[in-house]
Structure 1
Amino acid sequence: MRFEYTDGKNEDFIGLCHSLDDFLNSLVGGEENRADYIPYNALDDIHDVIVVYDEDNPIGCASFKKYDNKCAEIKRVFIKEKYRGKGISQKLMAKLEGLAKNQGYSFFILESGEPLVAAMKLYYSIGYKVISNYGPYVDMKNSICMRKAL
């Protein structure tokens, strides 16, 4: 496994984000059922990305963007199905947390939801705690927001 630091314009990251969108669409019964979330997953503001490779094959990604001076928001975490359950996501998240900490961030926040069973299990297992919904997710009843001190 190779972990490559890059940005939101990386072709492999963009491809993995399309795979994530396809996964989410299948999970919730189509893009129309997650239309309220789509505007908050644009890649324009994402400058900090890690892509995971198995040899030259991109198999996963995670990223963050600035929320405020002390806090960054995790975005677009995804591991291809064939590679799930192998501890890759924990390593990926640890590297992402280290990158944010090195940039001076004190906290990570994220938005997830109950249908994302594996993601929620990951976040709980590495120390994320549920918080009140923040920002655009305040009135989204299917959102679960979380936070972790770095």
Structure 2
Amino acid sequence: MTLEPFSPSHVRYLIDWIDSAKLNYLWGGPAFEYPLTREAILTHTAKPEVSAFLLNDQDAPAGYIELVEQSSVCARVSRVFVAEPYRGKGTARQMMQALFEIAKGRSYLQLDLCVFVCNTKAINCYQTLGFSEVKREQGVREFEGECWELIYMSKPL
């Protein structure tokens, strides 16, 4: 599996994968309205600080991930998504490890991320990859009347 830069031809995969308002919020937080649109995705991925990638498995789309520059030495891992047929097979781990190499190549010294407390599979994956919790935030993210607690995590490279 390889990461390749996200392109306009890949937009359809995200639109197909993100098939509910809840999944949209779990994946993108408040940054995207549901349903996703081509314009919203292209506007977001065109931001200079956003490096978006598609994970390919022999030309089959397997996932999506972003590296968002925070400073010259720190980037945030964002919007990690693994396509349904690839879940539970270590795909997220492979995608993250490939992203680590890209981040090191860009001379980042630290990676940060945020994850909702309810996303326990993602939290476990991030912990096994060396991310540690640095803080929790309650009451700032809400979906359909429920407050979703955020965990902030960090990893030195």
Common fold by TM > 0.5: yes
Worse overlay, 46-55 or 111-120: 46-55
* TM-score, scaled relative to structure 2: 0.72
Which amino acid in structure 2 is aligned with residue 145 of structure 1?
Y
Shift of 1:37: 2.2
Q: 1:95 and 1:35, CA in 2 relative to 1: closer, same or farther beyond 3 A?
A: closer
SS state at 2:81 partner: strand
Q: Would you say 1:26 and 2:28 are equivalent positions?
A: no
Q: Distance between the aligned counterparts of 2:103 and 2:123, measured in 1?
A: 21
CA–CA separation in structure 2 for the residues paired with 1:92 and 1:133? 25
Query: What CA RMSD, in Å, does the superposition of the two structures yield over aligned residues?
Result: 3.1
Give the alignment's TM-score, normalised by structure 1. Answer: 0.75
The equivalent residue for 1:4 is: 3
| Structure with the higher strand share, 1 or 2 | 2
Distance in 2, Cα, partners of 1:72 & 1:117: 22
3-state SS of 2:118 partner: coil
Structure 1 residue 77, shift from structure 2 partner: 0.8
What residue is the counterpart of 1:143 in the other structure? 150
Q: 1:44 aligns with which of 24, 29, 46?
A: 46
Q: Distance in 1 between matches of 2:16 and 2:81?
A: 8
**More displaced stretch, 54-63 vs 76-85:** 54-63
Unaligned runs of at least 5 residues, structure 2? 33-40, 142-147
Cα distance in structure 1, aligned partners of 2:67 and 2:86: 22
Q: Mind listing any 5+ residue stretches in structure 1 that lack a counterpart? A: none
Equivalent pairs counted in the alignment come to 140
Q: C-alpha separation between the residues in 2 aligned to 1:34 and 1:97?
A: 20
Spell out, residue by residue over 1:63-94, the C-alpha distance to the aligned partner (whole angstroms, 9 max, x if none). Answer: 20110111001112111122111112111101
